[in-house]
Amino acid sequence: VEALQANVERLNAYKSKLVVFPKSGKAEEATQFQGVFMPVEKVAPKVEFMAVSEEMKKHNAFMGLRQARCDARNFGKRAKRAAEKAAEAQE
């Protein structure tokens, strides 16, 4: 009984939100929505422009990314080697 009542409530909620158009509706009967439907917000750009320096022009982004990836990949090996050298220097 509760499941039936829950289903009836669900269907009534569906019917209340349902919009039904007549089959024989004419184009002149329809009206265009005049209000604000989805306002478009004009957001100011978050980028600040600046002059390009010689250092920026000489910088190679691809090589910088490759070097960073190489450093991340070999971080553990280099740390282990440095620890071994420090232990060897103490002996």
Residue type, 77: K
Residue 22 is predicted with a pLDDT of 75
User: What value does the mean pLDDT of the chain take?
Assistant: 88
20: region left, alpha or beta (phi > 0 left; psi from -120 to 50 alpha): beta
Is 6 contained in some domain? no
Structure tokens at 74: 């070999």
Work out the angle at residue 66's Cα, subtended by the Cα atoms of residues 62 and 67, and round it to the nearest 5 degrees. Answer: 115
Indicate the angle between helix axes 75-90 and 61-73, nearest 10 degrees.
50
Helix H or strand E encompassing 84: helix 75-90
User: Residue 87's domain spans which residues?
Assistant: 53-91
Number of structural domains (the chain) is 1
In a domain, 47, yes or no: no
Q: pLDDT tens, 24-66?
A: 766 666 677 788 777 778 888 888 889 999 999 999 999 999 9
pLDDT at 85: 96
